[in-house]
Amino acid sequence: MSEAHEQAERTPEITIEDFEKVDIRVGRILSAEPLEGARKPAYKLRIDFGPEIGVRQSSAQLTTLYRAEELVGRLVMGVVNFPPRRIAGFRSEVLTLGVANPDGAVILLAPDRDAPLGARLF
């Protein structure tokens, strides 16, 4: 692949000030259950982001690689300052972060060690 082709596929550059507007925090999943009525299989998550932010809910398409019961207690990273979205009648308040594997299944992003709930990514 040529260098010009690689640059064309990249996202435009942003400033550090742009990045600092995105509030990404550490949370712990308190509960996970199937989100009935979703177009793509997903879970309803309740995530504790610590005393400053509190418990928020999120819809996350994690059903391919994770069973609901194994999600409880896991640390995750989430964007906490996007406006809420309605997904299958469910109010999703947080974007739980992940990356796709080669098959398109979502792999959760999480700290590799225990971290305080609500700690901000920088």
Show pLDDT as tens, one digit a residue, over the chain (122 residues).
444 445 557 889 999 999 999 999 999 999 999 999 999 999 999 999 999 999 999 999 999 999 999 999 999 999 999 999 999 999 999 999 999 999 999 999 999 999 999 999 99
Counted domains in the chain: 1
**Does residue 48 form part of some domain?**
yes
**Does residue 56 form part of some domain?**
yes
Phi first, then psi: give them for residue 2, nearest 5 degrees. Answer: -75, 155
User: What is the value of pTM for the model shown?
Assistant: 0.89
Say whether 16 sits in a helix, a strand or coil: helix
**Does residue 14 form part of some domain?**
no
Return the structure tokens found at 92.
């999703």
What's the CATH code of the domain at 44?
2.40.50.140
Domain interval for residue 71: 22-108
CB 78 within 8 A of CB 110: no
* Bridge partners, 85 (sequence order): 92
* Bridge partners, 43 (sequence order): 34, 60
Q: How many CB atoms lie within 10 A of CB 30?
A: 14
- pLDDT at position 115, please? 97
The sign of the CA dihedral 105, 110, 112, 113 is negative
Q: Among residues 45, 41, 70, which one has the least CA distance to residue 57?
A: 45
**Does residue 44 form part of some domain?**
yes
